[in-house]
A = this chain, B = another copy of it.
């Protein structure tokens, strides 16, 4: 499938509007920061690695036409833009990583004229995109080694093409295993409330001729009880130094089920998803989103009593002891995570 989830095009950020899928594949050209902020908040663009790219491109989008009187003014504006983008969603580490990458470029080039810094920021954003494309392929190469012929894999949310630039983390591994000639079967958990599994993962796997079956989130346990799942692979939004991994709500549920049924549970994420300053999952900020996502079935029709209280965390944290291995672009990391994550990420820098 030759599509790009996010790229720089026509002097704007071009994204697939993922809220329109699977009904139509529609592109959106984002020309100002407010539109970008809304696109992120409303999940028109989503997925941790894609958010890293959105953040990097966003910095350039915000600063490119800024008429700086002096370097101090330029730096101040850059900080303002970064803070604004950072306020869109709190959990995915890659978003902040993307912003930091961009700010670092400015910091390191304070001796250059503003126009040159702008050009370097553009280059850095393009580098973030190229690196994601490479990271996904490296991750897929490592991860595919874990997949056996005829494996049945369960995944949640969307950690595919639509969560990255063009290949995917968890789904990238599945694509790669298929390219290697392995026959696979995938179950996609629909992922309430916003149904990224039903809308996005089922769509992209089907488009790529992967044998996919859609289930509701509460059906995974039954599949495991019946011995139908060989492996679970999920993405991640932020991984702490000890290996605790925040990912889409429902991931922790699958990790507990995997542990109970002795099914290997893998997290697939690039190095940019790790947040080594955070010691454990307890310190990962978890976004809580609005009640209507739960009560109104993707904003279309009410399904519950008016005014009903709702608990709607967008993510949960899977403690490291439930994770069989973390598949990264720097290789496969296994327990003990507290030493191996730092070692592995450093080794390959």
Interface size class of A (residues with CB under 8 A): 35 or more
Measured between beta carbons, the chain B residues less than 8 angstroms from A199 are 303-304
Shortest C-beta distance, A234 to chain B (Å), equals: 12
A207 to B305, CA, bound (A): 9
Neighbour of A308 across the interface among B193, B214, B256, B306, CB < 8 A = B214
In the complex, A222 has a CB within 8 A of chain B: yes
Secondary structure class of chain A's binding surface, majority of residues = mixed
> A190 on the interface (CB 8 Å rule)?
yes
**Chain B: CB-nearest residue to A306:** B22
Selected interface stretch from A139-147, A174-182, A294-302: A294-302
Which residue of chain B is the closest to A225 with respect to CB atoms?
B252
A-B contact pairs, 18 of them (CB 8 A): A22-B305, A156-B218, A189-B218, A190-B192, A190-B294, A195-B304, A198-B295, A212-B308, A214-B294, A214-B295, A214-B309, A219-B312, A221-B250, A225-B252, A256-B256, A256-B260, A297-B300, A300-B300
| A binding-site residues for B, Cβ under 8 Å | 22-23, 156, 187, 189-193, 195, 198-199, 202-203, 206-207, 211-223, 225, 249-250, 252-253, 256-257, 259-260, 294-295, 297-298, 300-313, 316-317
